[in-house]
Amino acid sequence: MLNHIQKVMACVCFFTGIVVNTYAQKNTLNQLRQQADQHKNDTAGVEPLRQLSLQLQATRPDSALMYAQQGLELARKFSFKKGEADCMNRLGVVLWKNGKYDRALSFLLNSLKIREEINDRLGILKSLSDIGIVYSDQMDNVKALSYHFKAKAVAEELHETTRLGIILANIGNCYIKLNKVDSALNYEMQAYTIKQNLKDTATMSNTLSILGDINYKMGHTALALDYYRVSVNYAVKINDQNSLADSYNSIAQLYKQTGAPDSSVYYASLALNAAKKAAYPEGIFHASNLLTDVYRGKNDHLELQYLKTSIAAKDSMFNAEKVKQIQTLSFNEAARQEEIAEEKHREEEARIVNLQLVGIAVFIPTFFLIVLLLSKSRTHRKVIEFMSVLSLLLAFEFLTLFIHPFVQRISNHLPVLELIILVCLASVLVPFHHKLTHFMRERLVHGHQQHHHSAPPSTPVPDKKESKAHTTKRKPAQG
């Protein structure tokens, strides 16, 4: 009796949510279509087309692909790089949700490349997060985590709290798939707190469903079921068929494990219907696989029917050709990231070298000024001579150091040609250096000596009392 009431309530919630959301979505779609028609010949039409794709991805994936493709073509027509990257990312997400992981990854990686070129930080955040999800669905959760943590760093840098909540939920999902329950619970609760504070209903269903999975693994069956049911309510409100399929599949699996086959079949059937509406192969695979297990040995006809559905869904996601394509894309992306890292390393080295050259260029004139000042003081002649010669050596060696990269470029690193160029430069610089050395000695050292030896000796000023004493008249001598 209790199960029957639960089924009726689930159906009522489902259909009520569909009616309300269908009306609201229809108005939004009409407005976006009008905007797209008004700007069909300029870049302002790209965003409405992207938004149309976003609105339709859960219910009409074919239309979602069509609008995203139209947006991509319009952006390319006007060389609108940001719009091109946005629409490529949109295509990648729609293809991912429909289980076409190889094509999805190709679009997402190309989108990331463009966004890195134009330094679109928010776009980079979106691409990293979506790429991580694709790898997670391909069961490569270690690689998925590497992308999610990169996305997390960018989200924190940009203070994108809403997206940070989504990324934390995805990290928790990866950890639960890796059977690291404590880490999964930690990140998922962080995501749940953020979404609660922001009243983010758009992605709450996914987070609640993952929290259900975590509690189920921890043995908290009743609490897991509560999370799944609340997740269903959120998914119904926004008509998210993908999330509905995931939550219903989780409930069906829970009932199967707890020995309630009728309830398991009921929720697996709901999951299969939702997944088919969304053209969601992963949801179709899990639901039909579960139904195959339930009917095995009990109903051969239904067992075979669901087995065929399960195999077809699995083949659409994981056939050998697609797996190979994903591996190729992953290898190429890893090579590109290594190249970017190497380029950054070269730029950092060049920056350090340039800073050193600037420092030397400032130091040499400063040092020469110090020599000039010392030449006018009582500093020893030998010190002045040494410092003047040293300043010239520094100047000429710096000039050689500065010219050398250009010499290498001109000679194309050919030793013979490089030697000839350096000899020619030396034939000009060495005599010039000797002349300047001679000039410095004459002007600074000899000038320093003349300055200290040409000053006349000072005449002592007689003391006034002494002067008076000497001027006292003597008595005349007596004759």
The model's pTM = 0.66
The pLDDT score that the predictor gives to residue 25 is 64
- Of residues 271 and 392, the one with the higher pLDDT is 271
In the chain, the amino acid numbered 17 is G
The overall average pLDDT reported for the chain is 81
Asked if 228 and 254 count as a contact pair (C-beta separation under 8 A), the reply is yes
pLDDT at 402: 74
Does the structure show a pLDDT above 90 at 378? no
pLDDT at 230: 95
Given a cut of 60, is residue 87 above it in pLDDT? yes
The yes-or-no verdict on residue 471 having pLDDT over 50 is no
* pLDDT tens readout for residues 153-166: 999 999 999 999 99
Which among 62, 86, 64 is positioned nearest to 75, based on CA atoms? 86
Per-residue confidence band for 476, with pLDDT thresholds at 50, 70 and 90? very low
Q: Which of 247-261, 324-338, 357-371, 455-469 has the lowest mean pLDDT?
A: 455-469
- Alpha carbons 390 and 445: distance in angstroms, whole number: 14
Per residue in 285-329, pLDDT (tens digit) is 999 999 999 899 888 888 899 999 988 888 877 664 565 566 666
Flag whether pLDDT at 449 surpasses 90.
no
Report percent pLDDT > 70 for the chain: 75
Q: Where are the beta strands (DSSP E) in 207-352?
A: none
410 vs 80 pLDDT, higher one: 80
Q: What is the pLDDT of residue 322?
A: 60
Q: Greater confidence, 18 or 112? A: 112
Q: Which amino acid is at 150?
A: K
**Of the ranges 141-145, 234-238, 425-429, which one carries the lowest mean pLDDT score?**
425-429
211 pLDDT more than 50:
yes
Q: Where are the beta strands (DSSP E) in 46-184?
A: none
- DSSP secondary structure of 322-359: HHHHHHHHHHHHHHHHHHHHHHHHHHHHHHHHHHHHHH
**Which of 108 and 339 is assigned the larger pLDDT?**
108
Q: What is the pLDDT of residues 400-433, one digit of tens each?
A: 777 777 777 787 777 777 778 767 776 766 676 6
Sequence-separated (6 or more) residues with CB below 8 Å from residue 80: 43, 46, 74
